[in-house]
């Protein structure tokens, strides 16, 4: 059994998976999410700060909900925030489309060349 301190309240809790907050804080966060989701569905053009002020939910938590993909922004002009990699403005997730594609290419398995062997990408060094 793994135990950890909750990142929000500091209490010790039994850690399950990659969860970083205790069950009590998770319930509270879920209630705040529901409040934000209801507000956003009724006020589609609201900015992150407007949502925060109207619901009393910290703007960083509203941003977290967007990054996690829990909130879907239909008209994304007002709910923009920077890509974590390049800083380009986005409306959902953590990375823009370009960075997502670049990261996916970087994680792709190496391809066999015509000679049937695997070759390193330019700039990579092979160990002797």
Tell me, yes or no, whether 119 lies in a domain.
no
pLDDT at 99 over 80: yes
14 within some domain: no
In a domain, 56, yes or no: yes
- This prediction has a pTM of 0.68
Q: What is the pLDDT of residues 15-50, one digit of tens each?
A: 988 889 999 999 999 999 999 999 998 988 888 999
Q: Tell me which residue range forms the domain holding 28.
A: 23-107
pLDDT score of 111: 62
3-state secondary structure of 100: helix
Q: With respect to residue 28, please indicate whether it lies within any of the assigned structural domains.
A: yes
Read off the CATH number of the domain in which 50 is found: 1.10.10
Pairwise CA distance, residues 25 & 19, whole Å: 11
Residue 88 has pLDDT above 70, yes or no: yes
Residue 123 in any domain: the answer is no
C-alpha to C-alpha distance for 43 and 50, rounded to whole angstroms: 10
> Are the C-beta atoms of 42 and 10 separated by less than 8 Å?
no
By the 8 A CB rule, do 24 and 12 touch?
no
The structural domain count of the chain equals 1
Do the domain assignments include residue 94? yes
Tell whether 87 is covered by a domain.
yes
Residue 121 counted as domain residue: no
- Contact of 88 with 98, CB cutoff 8 Å: yes
pLDDT of residue 74: 63
């Amino acid at each position: 059994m793994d135990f950890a301190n909750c990142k929000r309240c500091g209490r010790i809790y039994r850690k399950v998976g990659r969860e970083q907050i205790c069950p009590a804080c998770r319930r509270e966060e879920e209630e705040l999410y529901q409040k934000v989701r209801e507000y956003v569905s009724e006020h589609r053009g609201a900015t992150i700060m407007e949502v925060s002020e109207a619901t009393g939910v910290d703007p960083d938590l509203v941003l977290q909900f967007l990054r996690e993909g829990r909130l879907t922004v239909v008209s994304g002009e007002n709910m923009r925030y920077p890509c974590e990699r390049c800083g380009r403005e986005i409306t959902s997730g953590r990375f823009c489309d370009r960075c997502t594609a670049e990261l996916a290419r970087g994680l792709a398995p190496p391809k066999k060349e015509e000679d049937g062997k695997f070759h390193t990408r330019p700039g990579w060094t092979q160990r002797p």
